[in-house]
Amino acid sequence: MKDQIDALLNDVKKLPPMSNVVVRIMSLVQKPDVSINEVAAEISKDPSITASIIKLSNSSYYRASKPVRTVAESLMTLGLDTVKEIVMLSASKAVLQKDLKGYQLEADEMWMHSLVVAELSGRIITLKKLPIPKDLAFTAGLLHDIGKVILTQFFPGKILNIKDELKNMETTFTEVEKKHFGYDHQEIGLKVLTAWNFPDELKEVVSCHHNPEAAVKFPLLASVVHIANTITIISGIGIDIGGINQELSPFALKQVGMNDKDIELLFTSIPEIQKQLMELHRG
Ligand SMILES: [Fe+2]
């Protein structure tokens, strides 16, 4: 099994493609003096992302104050940070929300899981006034389980075995994955984002969202996504549900400064978040 996975990961062409435009936009928007025109010009090079941005800008989720017809209008109406979020959302959707023959339930469930974790991560930044850009937390939340999505796309039956096995055992999803695949989805995710040339922040979150204490450079961001992910799983949204095996890391809670009241607030916001995200979920 491990050999099969190594072969998959060593041949970038076999992996789901990530638009080059997205990688360029990600580095472009990190420049402090970047202009809206520069960003719009870059985005416009990818017709499917352009179409998605215009569609999502006009969705009730983003509530633009007036109709958005172009990428430049989207940037002017919603602002650079929100458009960055939408770029990642559109680019990730193609990869994360894939039609999986016979496993549509799992695919839909994982896409909803990714969206809820993204939204919750952003809310934690606002709630605790953390010094991290909200769109970065949103993107990290959106992509945290990319490794699992890819494992499910290539080995759907096996993932379901793991899901079953988990029901009868006091073990974690990542431990069972390692037993079956030789890698867990965090390691796979890291390899995929490395192949896509994604920034270090995202690579680290993907590689340690289940054990944020292992984060070397970005422990705060890893902790935010860990908390968002754990709350989402305990709420029953995701394919690795089984609350007893998922615990909030005390390290992460301390990093973020979360108290019981904050955690309760996030838990109770889940139904409303899910409702709000329905439109993005259906796409
Ligand atoms: Fe995960």
33 belongs to a structural domain: no
45 belongs to a structural domain: no
21 belongs to a structural domain: no
Q: What is the pLDDT of residue 245?
A: 63
Nearest to 250 by CA among 226, 234, 266: 226
Nearest to 274 by CA among 94, 87, 63, 118: 118
pLDDT in tens, the chain (283 residues): 888 888 877 776 677 777 777 888 877 877 778 888 888 888 888 887 888 888 888 888 888 888 999 899 999 899 888 888 888 888 777 777 766 666 677 778 888 899 999 999 999 999 999 999 888 899 899 999 988 888 888 887 887 788 778 777 777 888 888 888 899 999 999 998 888 888 899 999 999 999 999 999 999 999 999 999 999 998 989 876 544 567 899 999 999 999 999 999 999 999 999 988 887 777 6
Domain CATH number, residue 151: 1.10.3210.10
pTM: 0.86
Q: 54 C-alpha vs ligand 1 centroid, how far in Å?
A: 30
Q: 185 C-alpha vs ligand 1 centroid, how far in Å?
A: 7
155 belongs to a structural domain: yes
Q: 229 C-alpha vs ligand 1 centroid, how far in Å?
A: 7
Between the alpha carbon of residue 50 and those of residues 42, 90, 272, the distances in Å are 10, 9, 29
Both tokens assigned to 115 = 């969206």
List Cβ neighbours of 273 (8 Å cut-off, separation of 6 or more): 116, 119, 120
Q: 77 C-alpha vs ligand 1 centroid, how far in Å?
A: 34
Domain that holds residue 154: 2-12+96-282
C-alpha 251/C-alpha 10 separation (Å) is 34
Q: 21 C-alpha vs ligand 1 centroid, how far in Å?
A: 26
Q: 279 C-alpha vs ligand 1 centroid, how far in Å?
A: 24
267 belongs to a structural domain: yes
Q: What is the pLDDT of residue 243?
A: 43
43 belongs to a structural domain: no
Q: Could you give the number of structural domains in the chain?
A: 1
Q: What is the pLDDT of residue 12?
A: 65
60 belongs to a structural domain: no
51 belongs to a structural domain: no
C-alpha 230/C-alpha 249 separation (Å) is 9
Q: What is the pLDDT of residue 241?
A: 55
Q: 65 C-alpha vs ligand 1 centroid, how far in Å?
A: 36
